[in-house]
Amino acid sequence: MEEKHISVLGSTGSIGTQTLEIARAYPHIKIRAMSARANIRLLEAQAREFLPELVCVTDEAKAAELKIKLADTPIKVVSGKSGLIEAARIDGADTVVTAVVGISGLEPTIKAIKAGKNIALANKETLVTGGHIVTKLAKENNVKILPVDSEHSAIFQSLQGCRDDREIKRILLTASGGPFFGKTRAELENITPGDALKHPNWDMGAKVTIDSSTLVNKGLEVIEAKWLFGVDIDKIKVLVHRQSIVHSMVEFVDNGIIAQLGAPDMRLPIQYALTYPNRLAMTKNELNFAEHPALTFEEPDTDTFFALALAQRAGREGGNLPAVFNGADEAAVELFLNGKIPYLAIADAIAEAMDKIEKINDPSLEEILETDKAAKEFVYRRQK
């Protein structure tokens, strides 16, 4: 197989480690660069195994520690935001896997696209906050944005036979419903971080797990789908599908529906983004239909989980409003995980930030980053 060279931003996380698992299974996938925020224990082990040219630790002090630990190797250790950009732009890599959390993924992704890299996009916050900039740049630089998010990979896979986008009637975006599906607002009042970190079907990083429980994640995914597939927000229908077997579907103008199914396993969407348009064999996790006699679909409860409705509004209105939604959520999730605000305050904080932060049409990158800061500061101040 032809060699493939990749850079993995966020290699120590849930998506990052699964990306390396695929590279371990398929040694023609070579790792040129990798990054973490602070987990240098794991990053050192990964670096010694995969021997990239460069590793980045965004935390400066931890980067200095890792530099000493890797002194016996030729691996270059860089740090901070500039280091992350260096990892994103590294020579020789054709694809960058963006698996960092939050808006921190936006600038490195933009820089990678400008350097002509294809993007295997896990970091949905990139398209939510900067979709208009990123999709335009990708076109101009003739690079692909290949979805890693399981739903978007499913949509992408379902669209492989589609030759004309006008044939798409709507997208059916499935949602597991998270751990609190069916609960009332009153029942959610005393939810602790421990309760919210238990996802029924997927084992993911903390932020995306909390976002799944509030349906913020599904809201981010609606906006992500709008940019990836060029479909209006109102043509993206969210369906709660508790079993997470149907990963999403596309309905065409003739009412035919194509879906992608499989066991819940992120390795497939990650691998497909790295091997597209080819499919390579995968170990474990075959779907056994007999174990899933019922696949169910129902409407989401957007009164209780109104963050989904807020995201749909943000996606429809556009401008910097999705960046407000995203920044407010990042700050609120952090406060919730640190025991500073109750569970239900996450969506309340997002709603208030969306009303209070100044609206900007067609924001520049700087304006998006300023909006993010303003939304976060608003949420931090709000709880004092």
Contacts (CB under 6 A) with ligand NDP, residues 143-162:
149
In terms of Cα–Cα distance, which of 292, 278, 363 is closest to 324?
A: 363
Q: Between residues 151 and 330, which has the closer beta carbon with respect to Mg ion?
A: 151
Q: Between residues 44 and 149, which has the closer beta carbon with respect to Mg ion?
A: 149
- Tell me the window of 4-12, 170-178, 274-282, 366-374 that interacts with ligand NDP (CB under 6 A): 4-12
- What's the min distance (Å) between Cβ of 249 and ligand NDP? 18
- Tell me the window of 203-211, 229-237, 308-316, 335-343 that interacts with ligand NDP (CB under 6 A): 203-211
205 touches ligand NDP (CB under 6 A): yes
Residue 123 binds which entry of ligand NDP, Mg ion, none, CB below 5-8 Å type-dependent: ligand NDP
Asked whether the CA dihedral 20, 24, 28, 31 is positive or negative, the reply is: positive
Q: Which residues lie closer than 8 Å to 381 by C-beta, 6 or more apart?
A: none
Of 7, 79, 104, 260, the one binding ligand NDP (CB under 6 A) is 104
Cα 73 from Cα 121, distance rounded (Å): 30
> What would the x/- binding string for ligand NDP be over residues 207 to 246, using CB under 6 A?
-x--------------------------------------
Q: Between residues 204 and 324, which has the closer beta carbon with respect to Mg ion?
A: 204
Give yes or no for a contact between 43 and 12, defined as CB atoms under 8 angstroms apart: yes
Cα 174 from Cα 261, distance rounded (Å): 11
In terms of Cα–Cα distance, which of 22, 12, 8 is closest to 267?
A: 22
Q: Which two tokens stand for residue 236?
A: 């993206």
Asked whether the CA dihedral 271, 272, 275, 280 is positive or negative, the reply is: positive
Residue 342: HSE in the Cβ half-sphere, 13 Å Cα cutoff: 10
Residue 32 binds which entry of ligand NDP, Mg ion, none, CB below 5-8 Å type-dependent: none
Chain contacts with ligand NDP (rule: CB under 6 A): 10-16, 36-39, 58, 84, 99-102, 104, 122-125, 149, 202, 204-206, 208, 266
